[in-house]
Amino acid sequence: MELQFTIDRDLCIQCGACVDDCPFHIIELTPDFPALNPTRIHHCIQCQHCLAVCPTGALSILGRNPQDSMPLPESLPTAQQMAALIRGRRSVRHFQPEPLPPEVIASMLQTVANAPTGKNNRQCLFTVIEDPATMDLLRKATIEGLRAAVLEKRLSEGQSYFRHVVSAWDQGRDIIFRNAPHLLMVSVPQTVTTPDADMLIAMSYFELLAASMGIGTLWNAMIKWAFSEISTDLYERLGIPEDHVKGYAILFGKPAVHYHRTVQRDEAQVNRVRLT
Ligand SMILES: Cc1cc2nc3c(=O)[nH]c(=O)nc-3n(C[C@H](O)[C@H](O)[C@H](O)COP(=O)(O)O)c2cc1C
């Protein structure tokens, strides 16, 4: 692995922050300047903590110029703002039909790609539907798959809610896709260390980012079950590799509903531990 590690000697103040923060002790403070320990570089997980922690922007790794990092503003959201975001986020089941600009979706996914992954493997595949015509095709293909399963009596007792999905559809109500203009599915190769967590974290970050932008989202298990249990060809049609762990779907778009206040949840169940 070529790490392209360089130190700008004019900027480096030899504080040792990069050495201390490297999780795998790959960097050493030589008598001169920080340097890679050649016997340990194969442990590097490319987290770039060394680049991020350097107070003077003297360190480059993986060919990244520290000047190109997003500056960390003084105005990170406050705890109160984060609490309002987390408490104020709602599952949206009414969407406006017009799609979001593709560049907005692209920028959201680029941000979400910064979510943590086990061993920094960054293997999340973001399968996204941007155009409403594709959403319409997917909706219809899903319903037809469910309808065939109903007619051919292939639904188990536990899958009987799909009957309601089909009969609601026939009455003009889309209770599965909620007429959303967009869909996101995150999948991760089975072979990485933590595929389920990586997928769920990415989706959670997407949901909160969307909420901060006034974009509505709906986590959707029904779509996942329809794809994995009934219309099993749809993952392939969407180009999601067979050997990936598949996540839930998230429907998203401009909301057609406005919530004026938070809901009031029960007290958190906390198991406070003090060992003696
Ligand atoms: C993993 C997961 C799967 C969900 N699946 C569905 C779904 O298939 N259909 C649906 O309408 N809502 C679904 N929801 C939304 C939940 O019903 C919703 O989060 C819950 O009722 C609380 O409402 P709130 O999100 O507005 O706080 C799902 C939520 C999660 C976290």
Element (H, E) at 249: strand 244-253
> What is the separation of C-alpha 215 from the centre of its chain, rounded to a whole number of angstroms?
15
pLDDT at 74: 79
* 3-class SS of residue 189: strand
* Residue given tokens 């995150």 in the structure block: 186
Distance CA 8, CA 52 (A): 15
Residue nearest to atom 27 of ligand 1 (CA): 90
What's the whole-number average pLDDT of the chain? 96
Which of 220, 228, 250 has most ligand 1 atoms within 8 Å of CB, for mutation?
Answer: 220
* Residue given tokens 């000047």 in the structure block: 67
Q: Is the CB of 235 under 6 A from ligand 1?
A: no
Distance CA 183, CA 131 (A): 10
Q: List, in sequence order, the alpha helices (H) in the chain.
A: 17-21, 49-53, 79-88, 102-112, 132-151, 161-170, 195-212, 221-225, 234-237
* 3-class SS of residue 32: coil
Tens-digit pLDDT profile for residues 1-15: 689 999 999 999 999
Domains and CATH numbers, the chain: 6-68 (3.30.70.20), 81-253 (3.40.109.10)
Q: Which residues pair with 126 in a beta bridge?
A: 186
Distance CA 195, CA 203 (A): 12
CA of 265 to the centre of ligand 1 (A): 15
Asked whether the beta carbons of 149 and 162 are under 8 A apart, the reply is yes
pLDDT at 1: 65
Residues in the chain with pLDDT values less than 70: 1
Asked whether the beta carbons of 118 and 198 are under 8 A apart, the reply is yes
Asked whether the beta carbons of 244 and 125 are under 8 A apart, the reply is yes
Atom of ligand 1 nearest to the CA of 224: 8
Q: Is the CB of 94 under 6 A from ligand 1?
A: no
Question: Which is nearest to 226 in space by CA: 168, 125, 167, 143?
Answer: 143
Tens-digit pLDDT profile for residues 91-114: 999 999 999 999 999 999 999 999
Question: Which is nearest to 223 in space by CA: 271, 275, 269, 180?
Answer: 180
pLDDT at 71: 86
C-alpha gyration radius of the chain:
23
CB count within 10 Å of CB 75 equals 7
Distance CA 185, CA 217 (A): 12
* 3-class SS of residue 30: coil
pLDDT at 198: 98
